[in-house]
Amino acid sequence: MKRSEEITALANEILLDISNNRTPLHVALLKASRISSLLDIPGNVTLFKDWAKNAEAMEFSVGSFQSRMEASKDPNISYAGGNQYYTPHGNFLERAGIRKETEDKAKMIAYYRAEAYNFVSGIYTRWQFGNMAESIFDKKRKRIEPIFPEIITDIQNRLNSIEQNLTSDNNEDWKNAVSSCRALLMDVANKLSPPKDTEDKGKYITRLQTYISPLPSKTKKALLRTLLDEFKLRVEHTMDLTQGGAHFDRPEKEKAEDVVLYTYLLLGEIAEIYKSRTVPSDKPKDKTPDSEI
């Protein structure tokens, strides 16, 4: 099981435990400590363990409220004295103390329950959406990656190189990742829409936009044109941060990651268009029906 799947499953389990009272609260709190460990939140690991210990003791105390109240009942006393103003004190104060203590502990248990539920609910929502996005991306990746080598034979090696640069701690490598993305889109443009002259060679975005022009869907065509323009702006902005003497202002890693993401999305869209134009039509040819014998 993937870490993200384990986190989502455990979060859902905790939410059901709390909302349906499936387990004692201290058990759910220990699970919340476990999920905090998976998320690398050491402060919450300790916090939920402490809450679990307190909750277990308080749950026992609250559960024994009725028996404690029974034990503190006033004994049956027969008073035959002559002082008509004398009244036995009884155990009133003891019972009041038990009631107040139990109420305080019940409030604290409710606080633990609400805070743990809110914490885990936020985790579940965030990671459940993340799993859905990852699943969508994986489906698209499996669909488009087999097409990539048909366009650029060494594309997988180049994508691996971009990934290695991006995972580096050196900001020069981030710059190289962005440069590699631009070079890759240029080569794709050269393959699918070759330049007509020297001046046209540098206009790789324009040539890719020309390549997608025959698309029948005006909406998709407009979307891809926007993505291409956005890619160009992101590359130029990120590369500008590394030019001249401004070496102190290297591109943030997040900006380089955005460029890589846009590159991959564009490659995917272009690959699907390429495949649709190279696969023969499955439309059956007209034929006469077989004659009856």
Full domain range(s) for residue 184: 148-278
pLDDT digits (tens, 9 = 90+) for 3-59: 778 888 999 999 999 988 899 999 999 999 999 999 889 999 999 999 999 888 887
| 161, 206: one domain | yes
| 103, 170: one domain | no
pLDDT band at 285 (very low <50, low <70, confident <90, very high): very low
| 222, 123: one domain | no
pLDDT band at 189 (very low <50, low <70, confident <90, very high): very high
Tell me what pLDDT residue 197 has: 87
Q: What is the pTM of this model?
A: 0.51
pLDDT band at 86 (very low <50, low <70, confident <90, very high): very low
| 124, 163: one domain | no
| 65, 155: one domain | no
Report the distance separating Cα 143 and Cα 47, nearest Å.
45
Tell me what pLDDT residue 43 has: 92
| 177, 136: one domain | no
| 46, 133: one domain | yes
Q: Where are the alpha helices (DSSP H) in 39-170?
A: 42-63, 65-71, 92-144, 148-151, 155-166
In this predicted model, which residue has the larger pLDDT, 21 or 76? 21
CA 218 vs. chain centroid, Å, equals 32
- Evaluate if residue 156 carries a pLDDT over 70: yes
| 171, 130: one domain | no
Q: Work out the end-to-end distance of the chain between its first and last CA atoms, rounded to an integer number of angstroms.
A: 61
Spell out a b/e string for 181-209, using b for 16 or more CB atoms within 10 Å of the CB, else e: bbebbbbbbeebbebeeeeeeeebbebbb
Q: What is the maximum span of the chain, computed from C-alpha positions, in angstroms?
A: 127
Report the distance separating Cα 131 and Cα 19, nearest Å.
23
Tell me what pLDDT residue 246 has: 42
Backbone angles phi, psi at 112, to 5 degrees: -55, -45
Q: Cβ distance 246 to 254 under 8 Å?
A: no
| 22, 137: one domain | yes
Tell me what pLDDT residue 30 has: 94
Mean pLDDT along residues 150-157: 91
Distances (CA, A) of 172 to 98, 157, 286: 68, 20, 60
Residues found in the chain: 293
